[in-house]
Amino acid sequence: MSRRITWADAPCPIARAADVLGEPWTLLILRNATAGTTRFEDFRSQLGIADNVLTTRLAKLVDRGLLTRLPYRDGGRTRHEYRLTQAGSDALPVLHALGAWGDAHTSAEKSAGPMSLIHTRCGRPTRPGAKCDSCGKPLARDDLAWRSSWLGPDEIPLAEPVNAAEDR
């Protein structure tokens, strides 16, 4: 599904952000990349997305600088992993806001419960911000994890961004 217009040069920053993040599947791909998914096959199986759609979305996320493509060897074949760049990592507050909004304003027939942000240093739930709600310590990305039953039984550490300029 292609949009007929672009907001890439719109004066409004929300419109420009929607131009990058607003296509179907894009936010779910970023969610999974933030949770550590890097390989095409894993995105496909986790999301149930068609190959052609996934290929197009990954290419756009690379073109827009949210993901970078890194080669790896699989047997005798070169394949690529997709890693978050700083721009992709900076979408984390958007994902948190959408998760909180979804918890508060939507429901599912088979709800898995809310998605929690965990401060791994104290092991307690917190909200995005500068300090942990529970222990008051400063929050750094590498001290955060997600917890939700639909993601699996364990806390999922947030993937660290790579420096896209160094990897090209």
pTM of the model: 0.86
Q: Which pLDDT belongs to residue 3?
A: 56
- Cα-based torsion angle of the residue sequence 43, 111, 91, 50 in order, rounded to the nearest 10 degrees: 30
Q: What average pLDDT values come out for the chain (168 residues) when binned by 10 residues?
A: 76 92 95 95 96 97 97 92 96 90 84 82 92 94 86 86 63
Q: Which pLDDT belongs to residue 167?
A: 46
Alpha helices, H only, 22-145: 26-34, 40-47, 51-63, 86-89, 92-105
Q: Which pLDDT belongs to residue 168?
A: 44
Q: Which pLDDT belongs to residue 165?
A: 53
Q: Where do the domains of the chain lie?
A: 13-88, 90-161
Q: Which pLDDT belongs to residue 52?
A: 97
Write the class of the CATH domain 13-88: mainly alpha
Q: Which pLDDT belongs to residue 131?
A: 95
**Contact residues for 34 (Cβ-Cβ < 8 A; gap 6+):** 84, 88, 89, 91, 92, 95, 146, 158, 159
pLDDT > 70: percent of the chain: 93
Q: Which pLDDT belongs to residue 108?
A: 80
